[in-house]
Chains A and B, each alone.
Chain A
Amino acid sequence: MLELLNCAWAAPTIAALLEPAVAKLSRRARDGLAVTACAAAALSTLTPFFANARGALRWEWVSLPGLGGVGFGLLLDPLSSTLAAVVAWVSLAVFVYSLGYMRGDPGLTRYWALMLLFVGGMELLVLSENLVLMLIGWEVVGVCSFALISYWYQDREEDRATRWVGEPPEEYPPSHCGVKALLVTRLADTLMIAGALALALAAGTLSLAELAERKPDAPGELLLASLLLMYAGALGKSAQLPFMEWLPDAMAGPSSVSALIHAATMVKAGVYLTARLAQLALSWSQFVDPTPFFAVVSACGVATALAASLQAAVSGELKKTLAYSTASQIGYMMAALGAARWAGSAAIAAAVYHLVNHAVFKAALFLAAGVVIHAAGSRFYSGIRGWGRRLKAVALAFPLATASLVGVPPFGGYWSKELVLSVLEAEPAVLALAVAAAFFTAFYGVRMLLLTFTGGSAAEHAHGSSLLEDIPYLTLAAACLALGLLSRPLEAAIAAVFGAELPEARIVSYLSMAAVAAGALSAAIAHFRGSSAGWAEPFVKVLRRRLYLNAAYYRIASGVSKLARAVDALEEAYAHALHQTAAALSAESEELAKIQTGIIELRELAWVAGALLLLLLLLASR
């Protein structure tokens, strides 16, 4: 029965390949195939829950010299099963939404093919039994992300208000954003590949299941360095500091893409990988001291949680706020994973619990944001003010999902964030920063609500969204509430499958609630007073310039470009020097050619002189 789980990656992948051919037959069939394949994948991800299965499926695929056999196999454990289900079901919601949201788009066949390939790649990533297969899934989703961010690749000026991203001087068209995302994440991925291969060579296996059980044949520092290199890949994919800034620009893609790839699924790949690394670091603790690894994970996580929440608080665009929010929330998950040193599997359970809740509320927010931007014809708050309340389904779903994001009880986000903060109790500095991030989360959440729902002209008529668009985010918003109401049994289930004893939240809970209340109140005051940031103005300016991190990326790119031009100049000089040498040799040969005067007497004289010289030499040698 577990073989059915292959459907999770195979059905979307096969459908992706069939899409161009089916599109030639009928557009309806093309759309139907996409949704059906995704539904099949979603249903198959329930198999492990019903069969209560763990273990691995494996078929021999290829034997790599020096690295050993790479099986084509799936690994079933609580982590992979949960992630696979989240990916597939959120994908299904986004696919249904796309039926309405993308209707009439001329590139829809390309859209479906890429979305399906993405779902297949993502399922492969989380279910893969070995490092190579995981790397394949990892890179496939990266390429799909590039192609989908660049979906409106013609960069038309008339789409500037809706399909570009940022404000001058940091405003970019979709094709630029796609390339940026691909290059930034790929740079991190190359480090990860080196780390993964170092781990595999040390342990003598590529299998994820076997890795933890093997005794690594390498010194502790090398194992630590390998773990950190792999973590670099997670930082890139999950848009964590210092690789964070590609994610806000990825919002140039369609909102459905932002919801699926850049909120609910792909960016979670880093959390998944870090969870696997945390498990590995814990099981190898007798060979390597994992403290530095966990410290780095904690530090990067909580720093991103705070920095991204601050940037979300000043963002002038709805989707960009949500993008920074995603980086910030993933920062929470990473910080929790960093606490696995003390909290063990409870930390991993907390991160996964928050991941599930975040996937649900953030997908709802992005899908609703897409409807708002579509209706208002603007991605900026200045253009969408008041549009939220004119769209009934949005007016219902958006506040619910925002409440879950902010961490208002009894929504799902509240419980998982509490759990994350509870596991951070052992690290007061990290906890303090996480609570500060909670304050800013409430601030930007309430600000986003107020800017979307208040103000604007009441006379304007809203473009209606279709039922196909509304149902998915309404369902997801309802799920935010349902996940909250079912928090007790859910926590118990998570504790059971991860074999963890979840900590009780006490003081932390009050701290976090106070931070949320203060953040929400501050946002409301700032909004209704409408005054400038006052003393915080210089700070806000730095935040609006994206902490100069984005500028740093371009500085690095400009440095590489300068180096490239220098190499090119060197090449020209080299080619010139070769030509000069050839010319000099040619001139020399012309000089030598002058010896050949054509005067017979001179030639005869030279002949005789040569013959005499030879004779003399022969005589001298005797």
Chain B
Amino acid sequence: MRLVLLLAAILFPLTAIPAAAAVKSWKRGAALASSSLIASAAALALSAGRGLKEAYIVEPTLGLIVLDGRGYNVAFSLLACLVCAAALLAAPRFLERARRRRSPASFYALYLAASASLVATPLSGTLTTFFAFFEAYLIASWLLLLLWGGDRRRGSAALTYLVFTEVGALLTLLGIAVLYDAYGTTSFEGLRSVLQRAHPAELVLPFALLGVGPLVKMAVVPLHAWLPAAYSSAPIPLLVTMTIAEGIGGWALVTLLSFTAPSVLSVAWFRLPLLALAAFTAVYGSLAALAQRDPRRLLAYSSVSQGGYLLLGIACGGDIAAASALLLFAAHSLAKAALLAAFGYLEELSEVRDLEKLGGLAPYMPATAVSVLVSFLSLAGVPLTLGFWAELEVVASVVALLARGSVSGLTAAAALSASTALSLAYGVLCFKRVFFGKPKLRLKEDVRSAPVVLALALSLANVALGAHPGLLIAALQR
């Protein structure tokens, strides 16, 4: 019997959309949506290691949907699926109170559409399949932001998001058209074999165009302006999907630059600007995060910075690129989702979005404090978390590239490594402001409440994967 596990993984959440569109209860909606995503995760887990490749003809030539479950694809997809499902745990809590009068139907329907697209994107075997799913996520997430954004500026935030991501997507589409016109295929594997004979310099333009969409999703400076605006307005579960989308942008770049056309990175005037952009984004994002008093904006700039590190590992190329992208995606998704849950909970309890007005909460909110600390340490690449392995691979790739025979290269690599201290600085300083010192607010956490459980579970998963990173690394075999 032919296995259709990959298609099933996408169809589970998609087929749940009509039912979700009819739900009236927040809790039932969450149960329905999360069970469909768990079913999707089960299908993906079953497909792992089987090397599945499925093709479905929607329309001859360009309309071919190809799903590729080989190598790291399933790992990206499975992680996206699990984190999207986990974020639903806290959705009723975050949205029910804030938007009491609205029916949850549109939220769950759109959330499932966004999640299904995120699950599907890393399974893409062709550029057109990738573009279709990527675009589907953009539209679903834009609608979620527009309809479910939490403040008066959500319209402006949604518009900024739409303009940036759509311009990026259109340039990516242009890149796909240029490649298809020149080489007659959009399949990653087909292109890989064809492009081996192509001159690397010829590939720079199409791959630069292709890369814009993912770079926008990774919020690389200066394409990042949508992110702080979206973080200020978006509901927490949507922000979790945006964090995942950032990593999926990393998947797209790894697939393009490490798998499909590794020779592009041998062109110095392509790679060096990319490296410079990555390093600048990493440092710029951390510095901007240091200056924030609003936790949501701090987390937004932290995502900008993490996007820089993700790009840094990918731009270095070589064997380590895919590993660094996968590990950083996993570490960032788990840590940022936990932080979003924790700070969303704090925001809901205190109705305060100013770090200066918080303080001394550790004795009142110990579980939240532990999850926040673990997650910030993971973002900074501290051991016992998955972030350590991610940072190790990123720094190793930078050292391997820059320090080969050159002391100045090693100095640059060391400077980039030192910039990770900035990630620790904004994380620990934020933690100190909120949880240490004299109590400014008397809040009491309910350890059984969904956001606290979610933040703790994600932190635990971060530490567990930190203890056994081999689980993820094994997925890199293609």
For B470, give its contact among A63, A66, A154, A564 (CB under 8 Å).
Answer: A63
Whether A571 touches B428, Cβ cut-off 8 Å, given contacts A63-B470, A64-B392, A194-B395, is: no
Interface centre among A65, A150, A153, A560 (most CB of B within 10 A): A65
Size bracket of the B interface: 35 or more
Interface contact B413-A571, CB-CB below 8 Å:
no
Inter-chain contacts of B452 with A (CB < 8 A)? none
Interface contact A66-B287, CB-CB below 8 Å:
no
Tell me which residues from 346 to 398 in chain B have a Cβ below 8 Å from any Cβ of chain A.
360, 362-363, 377, 380, 382-384, 388-389, 391-393, 395-397
Tell me which residues from 330 to 357 in chain A have a Cβ below 8 Å from any Cβ of chain B.
none
5 residue pairs, one from A and one from B, having the closest CB atoms: A66-B320, A568-B291, A175-B436, A564-B290, A564-B291
Residue interface bits B301-336, CB-to-A below 8 A is 1, else 0:
000000000000000001110110000000000000
For B319, give its contact among A66, A155, A222, A565 (CB under 8 Å).
Answer: A66
Q: Does B187 contact A (CB under 8 A)?
A: no
Tell me which residues from 409 to 451 in chain B have a Cβ below 8 Å from any Cβ of chain A.
410-411, 413-414, 416-422, 424-425, 428-429, 432, 435-439
Interface contact A153-B436, CB-CB below 8 Å:
yes
Interface contact A139-B388, CB-CB below 8 Å:
yes
CB<8 Å pairs between A and B, sample of 6: A65-B323, A66-B320, A139-B384, A143-B382, A173-B437, A229-B414
Inter-chain contacts of A67 with B (CB < 8 A)? 320, 392-393, 396
Inter-chain contacts of B429 with A (CB < 8 A)? 179
Inter-chain contacts of A62 with B (CB < 8 A)? 389, 468-470, 473
Inter-chain contacts of B11 with A (CB < 8 A)? none
Interface contact B225-A575, CB-CB below 8 Å:
yes
Interface contact B417-A155, CB-CB below 8 Å:
no
Q: Nearest Cβ in chain A — how far from B472, in angstroms?
A: 10
Interface contact A582-B159, CB-CB below 8 Å:
yes
Interface contact B292-A568, CB-CB below 8 Å:
yes
A575–B413 CA distance with the chains assembled, in angstroms:
32
Q: Does B337 contact A (CB under 8 A)?
A: no
A193–B429 CA distance with the chains assembled, in angstroms:
23
For A65, give its contact among B320, B362, B363, B432 (CB under 8 Å).
Answer: B320
Interface contact B414-A195, CB-CB below 8 Å:
yes
Inter-chain contacts of A156 with B (CB < 8 A)? 438
Inter-chain contacts of A568 with B (CB < 8 A)? 288, 291-292
Closest to B156 in A: A579
Inter-chain contacts of B389 with A (CB < 8 A)? 62, 64
Residue interface bits A210-226, CB-to-B below 8 A is 1, else 0:
00000000110110011
Interface contact A64-B323, CB-CB below 8 Å:
yes
Interface contact A193-B417, CB-CB below 8 Å:
yes
Q: Nearest Cβ in chain A — how far from B254, in angstroms?
A: 12
Interface contact B287-A567, CB-CB below 8 Å:
yes
Tell me which residues from 44 to 65 in chain A have a Cβ below 8 Å from any Cβ of chain B.
61-65
Whether A560 touches B290, Cβ cut-off 8 Å, given contacts A65-B319, A198-B410, A222-B405, is: yes
A186–B417 CA distance with the chains assembled, in angstroms:
11
Q: Does A136 contact B (CB under 8 A)?
A: yes
Interface contact A183-B383, CB-CB below 8 Å:
no
Q: Does B407 contact A (CB under 8 A)?
A: yes
Residue interface bits A559-596, CB-to-B below 8 A is 1, else 0:
01101110110010011001100100000000000000
A contacts with B, residue count (CB < 8 A):
55
Residue interface bits A528-558, CB-to-B below 8 A is 1, else 0:
0000000000000000000000000000000
For A66, give its contact among B228, B290, B397, B428 (CB under 8 Å).
Answer: B397
The secondary structure that dominates the B interface is helix
Q: Does B476 contact A (CB under 8 A)?
A: yes
A198–B421 CA distance with the chains assembled, in angstroms:
19
Interface contact B288-A64, CB-CB below 8 Å:
no
Interface centre among A62, A139, A571 (most CB of B within 10 A): A571
Interface contact B413-A190, CB-CB below 8 Å:
no
Inter-chain contacts of B291 with A (CB < 8 A)? 561, 564-565, 567-568
Inter-chain contacts of B156 with A (CB < 8 A)? 579
Interface contact B288-A182, CB-CB below 8 Å:
no
A229–B432 CA distance with the chains assembled, in angstroms:
29
Q: Does A187 contact B (CB under 8 A)?
A: yes
Interface contact A191-B417, CB-CB below 8 Å:
yes
Interface contact A186-B438, CB-CB below 8 Å:
no
Q: Does B60 contact A (CB under 8 A)?
A: no
Interface centre among B292, B425, B470 (most CB of A within 10 A): B425
Interface contact B287-A61, CB-CB below 8 Å:
no
Interface contact A564-B383, CB-CB below 8 Å:
no
Q: Does A140 contact B (CB under 8 A)?
A: yes
Interface centre among B159, B290, B416, B435 (most CB of A within 10 A): B290
Inter-chain contacts of B319 with A (CB < 8 A)? 65-66
Inter-chain contacts of B61 with A (CB < 8 A)? none
Inter-chain contacts of A221 with B (CB < 8 A)? 407
Inter-chain contacts of B419 with A (CB < 8 A)? 190
Interface contact A190-B421, CB-CB below 8 Å:
yes
Interface contact A65-B476, CB-CB below 8 Å:
yes
For the A-B complex with A154-B438, A574-B222 known, give 14 more contacts whose Cβ atoms are closer than 8 Å.
A63-B473, A66-B323, A139-B384, A155-B436, A155-B438, A186-B424, A187-B418, A190-B417, A194-B399, A194-B417, A201-B399, A222-B410, A225-B410, A578-B160
Closest to B366 in A: A110
Q: Nearest Cβ in chain A — how far from B454, in angstroms?
A: 20
Q: Nearest Cβ in chain B — how far from A349, in angstroms?
A: 31
Q: Does B403 contact A (CB under 8 A)?
A: yes
Interface contact A155-B437, CB-CB below 8 Å:
yes
Inter-chain contacts of A139 with B (CB < 8 A)? 382-384, 388
Inter-chain contacts of B160 with A (CB < 8 A)? 578
For B395, give its contact among A61, A197, A225, A563 (CB under 8 Å).
Answer: A197
